[in-house]
Amino acid sequence: MDTISNTEKKTDKQESNETKKSSRKNDESSKKTEKEQDGREGFSNPIEFILTALGLSVGLGNIWRFPTRAYDNGGSAFLIPYLTCAILFGLPAVYLEMVAGQYQGTSPPIVFWRIMPFLEGIGWMSAMVSATIAIYYIVIISWVLIYIFNLCRGHLDIWNKCDNPWNNPTNCIDMLAQKQCANATIPSIFINGSCVFANKSITYTSATEQYLMSNVIRRSAGGFLDFGAINWPVFISMTICWLMTGLVIWRGMRVMGKISYVTTLLPYFLITVLFIRGITLDGASTGLYYFFLDPDFSKILSMKTWTEALKQLCFSLSVGHGGLMSMASYNRKNSNCFINAVILITGDTLMSLIGGAAVFSTLGFLAKQRNVEVSQVVESGLSLSFVVYPEAFTQMPVPVLWAILFFFMLFLLGLSTEIALTEVFCTCLYDQHPKLRNYKWLVVIIWCSLLYSLGLCFSFEAGFYWFEMFDEYAAGFASVFTVTLEIIVIMYCYGMRNFKLDIVTMIGPARNVFTGFFGAQSPFFLVDWLVISPIFGVILVVLSFLRDYPYQGDAQKYPVIFDILGWILAFLPIFMFPIFAVKNYLWFKKNGYPLKGLFMLQKPHVSYQRIVGKNKKKKKNIDTEREESDRKIPEFEPWGEVAFSGMTMVGEARFEEVDDSTGATTVLMPYVSRAPPE
């Protein structure tokens, strides 16, 4: 009897252990099923999502473009508009895009199609913005790769010399030899082998700046139509960068999440080290004062400064690019997107401020060495990162080590952003045509080859001028326009109340008064989304048209056609709106659906039953015509997924829905739709 009872106990224990194991497997499968049942690979954990999103946002824009814009717009005068825009526009925009993507679990075009099919083009606008930026963004990574290769060849000893074939000895300053001139009784500059007094009619440039412009970029003198010879180092570097980008995209989102541990965390460590070294340089306080404490109020009151600040913010945070919404769609449904948004904008702003401080502290050092003002140190804002940091390396112990680490950091930052920008369009394509996931390699090859071909103009001697065109027109206006339109559509077409309930469904209601005012459901966001952000965005979009032509005074290099082509480039993403509006109009008409359905919430939307059911409860007398129209709204999306029939429950996942009027909660069971029968 004892033996039997012991056997029964063992059997019970085995069964309980098996039950626990099976429940764990079910939990794991439910987590995987939520995003992977339809072929979408999700992130392994929330940290990977945050790091990958930071990798998209924190990039070359923080180390290269932010100091450039600050330098061109008065230093600290630029910080006030930038930080104001970050609070009033940046954080709300990031939060909104994350909520929209995470709640729907799909790419931007489908998100907006489900709100109104007429608006699908907004999602494709953001994908096109990413594509246009990806075309020219990779050329900066190519320059960085050239620096890394040249460092391995020992160029650190020659890029700060003035006796190379690419140097102009009449205005080239050897910064190492400049020390003896700067410390002389009467300060002078080291030119052509001796200390001489500065000639104000001559624009002096450092050896490192001439190395960049004349040896790496090889800018032609004839302007953007004078293509000249092909720049083989840039061509080869671009080819290598596109091959690496395509390889990572082909491997999928999980690989992107894994490499983000290196591509995102290492740059923060390196920029902190460079910042500490920068502030210890002689004259660093002058540069830091210019950056933080010397605002030019005429610049602050200039509309150009505010426009540039908002465009830089959108570029840096990658809002309006579709990337954040696409990445959030791979996130878990109950992930706290408010915390994610706060971490993202904090990390991005810190990188911009630390990177800017590191640059300007070194600018102060260079200004003291040359005996000039900080604003007169470099000829072009573009060359800040490629000139200022290399100057600092020559003053550090083991300069080769720091130089390689710095340019490796730039390479990682740039590549992580380039991968995310290029991947946006692929995600949009996969979500609308799921069968293409089986041919990822082919989609990636075709898409990367197309962008690579469009960017070949950068590999010629005129490539620098085309780079300036893309940077001026493609990176700013379209981003601001797109994200402003996204906010207006979600708030006024989908509805603020519906969007708020979507947030509560994912995150849950506020736990106390403090989180109610400062948390995910803060009234600040509702007011900002409804009023502040739309007004902010519309005003600055209008001001973009009223700005002066940025390249006046050199008609040979920048003729009128340069501005015309630039504006065509800026409006290229916006053309997606009417194209897809017409496409959906024809699809509705062809399938016999009422055209008013183009402007109605669609059944595949996750909240359709909640919203439509609530509206019917509120109205005692239901408009029969509207009810008939509801019945005629498509049961499936144009790409062939059923809204209600043939649905499959997603694992054991459950989400709470909160009734807006009573506060009662209802448990929702998410479903994944299957394709309709042939």
**What six digits make up the tokens of 224?**
């953007």
Confidence of residue 2 (pLDDT cuts 50, 70, 90): very low
Residue 62 is assigned to a ligand binding site: yes
In one letter, which amino acid is 458? F
Among 349, 243, 254, smallest CA distance to 52 is for 254
What integer pLDDT is reported at residue 60 of this predicted model? 79
Query: What pLDDT score was predicted for residue 187?
Result: 62
Confidence of residue 417 (pLDDT cuts 50, 70, 90): confident
316 is known to lie in a ligand binding site? yes
Asked if 324 and 343 count as a contact pair (C-beta separation under 8 A), the reply is no
Q: Could you give the angle at the alpha carbon of 668 between the alpha carbons of 662 and 673, nearest 5°?
A: 140
Arithmetic mean of pLDDT, 455-472: 90
pLDDT score for 31: 44
| Cα–Cα nearest to 423, from 662, 632, 222, 127 | 127
Confidence of residue 621 (pLDDT cuts 50, 70, 90): low
SS3 647: strand
What's the pLDDT tens digit per position in 220-253?
Answer: 877 788 888 899 999 999 999 999 999 888 876 6
Structural fold of domain 55-161+209-581? Hydantoin permease (1.10.4160)
Q: Among the ranges 89-103, 170-184, 252-266, 508-522, which has the highest mean pLDDT value?
A: 89-103
Mean pLDDT, all residues of the chain: 79
The residue ranking higher by pLDDT, 169 or 505, is 505
476 assigned binding-site residue: no
The answer, yes or no, to whether residue 29 has pLDDT greater than 50, is no
* Sign, CA torsion 591/592/598/603: negative
Q: What's the CA gap between 326 and 317, in Å, rounded?
A: 14
Q: What pTM, to 2 d.p., does this model score?
A: 0.82
673: helix, coil or strand? Answer: strand
pLDDT tens digit string along 519-567? 888 899 999 999 999 998 898 888 877 766 666 667 677 888 888 898 9
Kindly report the number of other CB atoms within 10 A of residue 207's CB atom.
Answer: 26
- Percent of the chain's residues with pLDDT above 90: 26
Q: Which residue has the higher pLDDT, 265 or 546?
A: 265
pLDDT tens digit sequence for 371-413: 777 777 765 556 677 877 787 777 677 888 888 888 888 898 8
Secondary structure in 3-state letters for 471-525: HHHHCCHHHHHHHHHHHHHHHHHHHHHHHHHHHHHHHCCCCCHHHHHHCCCCHHH
pLDDT in tens, 345-380: 999 999 888 888 888 888 888 787 767 777 777 655
Instruction: Report whether 201 belongs to an annotated binding site.
Output: no
More confident residue, 387 or 616: 387
How far apart are the C-alpha atoms of 196 and 400, rounded to whole Å? 30
For 79-113, letters b (16+ CB in 10 Å) and e give: bbbbbbbbebbbbbbbbbbbbbbbbbbbbbbbbbb
Residues β-bridged to residue 314? none
Q: Does residue 135 carry a pLDDT above 90? A: yes
The CA distance from 246 to 259, in Å, is 14
Has residue 288 got a pLDDT over 80?
A: yes
Q: Any alpha helices (H) in 302-398, and if so which ranges?
A: 303-317, 323-329, 337-370, 384-393
Looking at residue 661, its pLDDT comes to 47
Domain boundaries, the chain: 55-161+209-581, 591-673
CB atoms within 10 A of CB 232: 10
Q: What is the DSSP string of 186-255?
A: S--EEETTEEE---TTS--EEHHHHIIIIIIS---SS-TT---SB-HHHHHHHHHHHHHHHHHHHH-HHH
For 24-62, b/e burial (b = at least 16 CB within 10 A) is eeeeeeebebbbeebebbbbeeeebbbbbbbbbbbbbbb
Mean pLDDT of 177-181: 68
Residue 16 has pLDDT above 80, yes or no: no
In the block, residue with structure tokens 């390889």: 247
* Annotated binding-site residue? 584: no
